[in-house]
Amino acid sequence: MHIRRRDFIKASAAAGALLTVGCSPKMNALQPAAGNAAHETGEAPGEWVASTCQGCTTWCPIEIFVQNGRAVKVRGNQHSLANNGYCCPRGHLLLQQIYDPDRIKVPMKRTNPKKARGEDPRFVPISWDEAMDTIADKIMELRNNQETHKYLLMRGRYSDHNYLLYDYLTKLIGSPNNISHSSICAEVEKFGAYYTQGYWGYRDYDLDKMKYLIVWGCDPISSNRQVPNAIRKLNNLLANGKVIAIDPRMSNTAAKAHRWLPIKPSEDGALATAMAHVILTGGNWHKEFVGDFKDGQNRFVSGRTVNEEDFRENLTNGLVKWWNLEIKDRTPAWAAGITGIDEMTIIEVARGLAAAAPHCGVWYGPHMQPRGSYAVFAIHALNGLVGAVDSEGGVITYQSSPYSSLPKFDAYQDELAKAGTKNKKIDHRGTLAFPALNKKSGGGVVTNNVANGILAEDPYEIKMAVGYFNNFNFAGTEAKRWDQALAKIPFFVHIVPMLAEMSQFADIVLPSTLHHSEQWAIIRSAANTYGHTSIQQPVVKPLFEAKAPETEYVWLLAEKLKAKGFPNIYEYLHNEFADPETGKKPQNSVEFSLFATKIRSRKAWDPKENADYKGDRVEGWEAFRQRGVINSPAFKPRTLWEKGFPTETKKFEFYSETLKKVLIEHAEKHKVSVDEVLKVTNYEVSGERAFVPHYEPPLRHGDRTTYPFDLIDMKSRFNREGRSANLPWYYTFKKCDPGDLVEDDVIQLNPADAARLGIQEGDRVQVSSVIGSLIVRARLWEGVQPGTAAKCYGQGHWAYGRVAARDFKKFEPRGANFNEIMPEEYDRLTGATARNGGYTGVSIKKI
């Protein structure tokens, strides 16, 4: 970009103004971008270095401008087809994360044995050597006592190297307890695509060719999984197609959409089944995908059953069964009474979607509701009904991108470790009440139940735990259970860049590098119809004594264990992780993390390993490191149509034989009927309807008389998952979310409700649920419907740094964390923690 002299003077003036508020001009993000110019900000030469942002699960390939060793600016990777060189607003916040004055600088150990919320751990600095020595001793103690299964690893966000720390190390030590955060994240939504089309994963969207988009229970231009792409592409769709948003509150996307359907919380199944009813009775399903009546006469008439033999299905299974079991009675008039959306709107939206078929789709979010799995089952069935699945302009699966396997660890696992891993897991997955289904019973995780397992010592006590990149004491509902559980664990290690609530219970805290800018790894994701493999590298030198948990920590621990007579892990790392370029074996933790990254990414850069690859190609590791991203080939529509879906029937299943099989397996394992399973797991359905997408009424905590409001929880545009709360810019820009305010944490109430309760803008209100109360400020806003109250997640930290606190020393939070008052509840079929669907009834009163 050419900058005229006058503009340059203006920009310098802006930089000068920033200086007076304590921001170095070199940190100034307001200056015009200058392509790849060496002088990106200020005078000093610098360069753009590729990495990957992990501010949310978009995992954008990015570049960070580095000047004098400092990260000063962020942009999307110019080679990335997922985000086309852009990053979202909160991508820029990572600079404040790097230079957060509250970062942990050195390892620390606890000197106050008492563990409780508000109890000062009295951490004192120690060396890495002492820290690792202590940790290794604890592991040796477990091994000597043959109780390695009492070791627990809890993982939050992660890179492609997570297998090393989360999986392999846990198994080499000898424990079954590697617990991920997945089921406090978004597991429910995967149920929809898995039990219809055999795909356990997030969906991508062909937005360029789409004509009609329904955004359902997510907010793609602000959150979800491809924010920069959604921001870029929505304009075109708004101008040339239609965008509908279905959300109890006016989300960022709803504010821009042609229509916003403010649905009553947890009634998504009613709306989706009614839309299917409209599409079928109107004869508007996608014939090529679904098939048709043999004589071409539409027999789908409200309330009447249809003969299965009269319909010839093409690429789907069980359409008529689904109609007979469920859809025939799900009229739009019926749904209008339940969802709060009028009949005409339901009809118009369903017809609009079908009229654009197959260049259309439903983009749905986590639906972490107590009965969310059947809601997303019904929602995704709509994508099948209109043939949008795997279609041009439709809803597609993630395209894969290259990676290589890590070396196998099995040969290094000794008998003791093998025996240890055979124990039951602490999260109760696969038990009668927690099916946690995916491909099999117990295939998922029940993250939030781990606290209960620890407290009840069921199936046994946990003696040692390690956590990284997570903060379950803040992120899990009924959060205080986590305080009690972690207080009970005799030895806990937390590996994080800044203190968090979880760290308050640690015996040792280790300073972690930041994934996005200080360590080696690769990350794989997809967006905009392309998959990508993207690098993470030490763009800047890790601050203070920070080290990478997934690689360096594992190496350092292996060294210590070897010295204490348990060499297996060291031998695995030392023997198997030779540099693929030179054959040199790693000698230290830094080399190990680099070699592991080269090994993991080898298919992305080594011409010998990827001769047939049709996506981006680079010549060698150094070229990959510099470019930072490998894009997959373009998506080819209808590949699955031709190949068949990986389901039991090889079809897209409206009647799910795949679900039936796993439910029966689960029931037989526990010697009960499927109906019994559904009852124990809090579903109302019985019989054959369990195998089709169907309506389940909401499950709610708190009676409507005492707790009249449904609590809606959402993500702010500026939440970097749980990690923005100590960043000043988070508070500065918060107003960008509709209905929100800067520098505050507000609960949004409909003005009519507020008037009734005598509440005015800015009043402090007490919000109470069946498990507790919190105090926040009221914000009156038409963007929430009467009877609901909404607040974004992110604030209310009592131990997350000085910006996040009102008074850090006194453990007083700034704002409120509704996980304190949201009761522990699950969608038990997937093991997912409920937080959506207004399942928490609350009362609100002015104080």
Ligand X SMILES: Nc1nc2c(c(=O)[nH]1)N[C@H]1C(S)=C(S)[C@@H](COP(=O)(O)OP(=O)(O)OC[C@H]3O[C@@H](n4cnc5c(=O)[nH]c(N)nc54)[C@H](O)[C@@H]3O)O[C@H]1N2
Least distance in angstroms from the C-beta of 291 to ligand SF4: 39
How many other C-beta atoms lie within 10 A of the C-beta of residue 802? 13
Range 651-682 burial, b when 16+ CB lie within 10 A, else e: bbbbbbebbbebbeebbebbeeebeebbebbb
**Site membership for ligand X, residue 837 (CB under 6 A):** yes
Assess contact for 12 and 26: CB atoms under 8 A.
Answer: no
Q: Which of residues 720-759 bind ligand SF4 (CB under 6 A)?
A: 720
By the 10 Å C-beta count (0-12 exposed, 13-18 middle, 19+ buried), 623 is classed as exposed
Residue 767's nearest CA partner among 743, 734, 740, 789 is 789
Number of residues that bind ligand X (CB under 6 A): 61
- Binding characters for ligand X, 134-173, by CB under 6 A (x = yes): ----------------------xx----------------
**Site membership for ligand SF4, residue 91 (CB under 6 A):** yes
Q: Which stretch binds ligand X (CB under 6 A): 222-230, 233-241, 327-335, 421-429?
A: 222-230
Crossing angle of helices 568-576 and 554-563, in 10° steps, is 130
Q: Which stretch binds ligand X (CB under 6 A): 243-251, 449-457, 600-608, 665-673?
A: 243-251
- Please select the residue that binds ligand X; options are 51, 836, 840, 843, rule is CB under 6 A: 836
Helices H, strands E: what count in the chain? 29, 33
Written as six digits, the tokens of 222 are 């602000």
Residue placing its CB nearer to ligand X in the complex, 80 or 223: 223
Residue with tokens 């852009």: 86
- Please select the residue that binds ligand X; options are 217, 370, 420, 813, rule is CB under 6 A: 217
Q: Which stretch binds ligand SF4 (CB under 6 A): 57-65, 144-152, 274-282, 705-713?
A: 57-65
Residue placing its CB nearer to ligand SF4 in the complex, 58 or 726: 58
Nearest residue to Mo ion by CB is 185
- Please select the residue that binds ligand SF4; options are 42, 46, 55, 365, rule is CB under 6 A: 55
- Please select the residue that binds ligand SF4; options are 49, 56, 495, 573, rule is CB under 6 A: 56
Q: Which of residues 708-737 bind ligand X (CB under 6 A)?
A: 712-715, 717, 719, 721-723
Residue with tokens 């979310």: 737
Residue placing its CB nearer to Mo ion in the complex, 391 or 473: 473
How many other C-beta atoms lie within 10 A of the C-beta of residue 299? 17
- Please select the residue that binds ligand X; options are 417, 446, 514, 561, rule is CB under 6 A: 514
**Site membership for ligand X, residue 358 (CB under 6 A):** no
State how far the alpha carbon of 765 is from the alpha carbons of 286, 477, 575, in Å: 50, 21, 61
Q: Say which amino acid occupies 358.
A: P
Q: Which stretch binds ligand X (CB under 6 A): 68-76, 248-256, 415-423, 553-561?
A: 248-256
Distance CA 664, CA 437 (A): 11
- Please select the residue that binds ligand X; options are 15, 186, 573, 663, rule is CB under 6 A: 186
Residue 477's nearest CA partner among 183, 740, 192, 683 is 183
Residue placing its CB nearer to ligand X in the complex, 248 or 580: 248
Written as six digits, the tokens of 623 are 């070229």
Residue 749's nearest CA partner among 708, 716, 689 is 708
- In the chain, what is the greatest distance between 2 CA atoms, to the nearest angstrom? 80
Distance CA 835, CA 794 (A): 13
Residue placing its CB nearer to ligand SF4 in the complex, 471 or 534: 534
Q: Which of residues 611-640 bind ligand SF4 (CB under 6 A)?
A: none
Assess contact for 328 and 305: CB atoms under 8 A.
Answer: yes
- Binding characters for ligand X, 515-534, by CB under 6 A (x = yes): x-------------------
Least distance in angstroms from the C-beta of 593 to ligand X: 13
Q: Which of residues 545-564 bind ligand X (CB under 6 A)?
A: 549
**Site membership for ligand SF4, residue 526 (CB under 6 A):** no
- Please select the residue that binds ligand SF4; options are 50, 66, 81, 87, rule is CB under 6 A: 87
By the 10 Å C-beta count (0-12 exposed, 13-18 middle, 19+ buried), 449 is classed as buried
Residue 257's nearest CA partner among 212, 206, 210, 208 is 212
Show the 3-state SS of 631-696. Answer: ECCCCCCCHHHHHCCCCCCCCEECCCHHHHHHHHHHHHHCCCCHHHHHHHCCCCCCHHHHHCCCCC
3-state DSSP assignment of residue 746? strand
Contacts of 668 (CB under 8 A, 6+ apart): none
Instruction: Report what 228 binds from Mo ion, ligand X, ligand SF4, none; CB cut-off 5-8 Å by kind.
Output: ligand SF4
- Binding characters for ligand X, 465-504, by CB under 6 A (x = yes): ---xxxxx-xx-------------------xxxx-x-x--
Residue placing its CB nearer to ligand X in the complex, 26 or 715: 715
**Site membership for ligand X, residue 793 (CB under 6 A):** yes
Q: Which of residues 223-262 bind ligand SF4 (CB under 6 A)?
A: 227-228
Q: Which of residues 60-79 bind ligand SF4 (CB under 6 A)?
A: 60
Instruction: Report what 224 binds from Mo ion, ligand SF4, ligand X, none; CB cut-off 5-8 Å by kind.
Output: ligand X
User: DSSP secondary-structure letter at 4?
Assistant: -
Least distance in angstroms from the C-beta of 634 to ligand SF4: 21
Q: Which stretch binds ligand SF4 (CB under 6 A): 52-60, 332-340, 768-776, 836-844?
A: 52-60
**Site membership for ligand SF4, residue 663 (CB under 6 A):** no
Stated as kind and residue range, the H or E segment containing 621 is helix 621-627
Show the 3-state SS of 28-59. Answer: CCCCCCCCCCCCCCCCCCEEEEEEECCCCCCC
Nearest residue to ligand SF4 by CB is 55
Which residues are near ligand X by CB under 6 A? Answer: 56-57, 156-157, 181, 184-186, 216-219, 222-225, 246-249, 251, 263, 265-266, 268, 365-366, 369, 468-472, 474-475, 495-498, 500, 502, 512, 514-515, 549, 712-715, 717, 719, 721-723, 793, 818-819, 835-838
Which residues are near ligand SF4 by CB under 6 A? Answer: 53, 55-56, 58-60, 87-88, 90-91, 227-228, 720
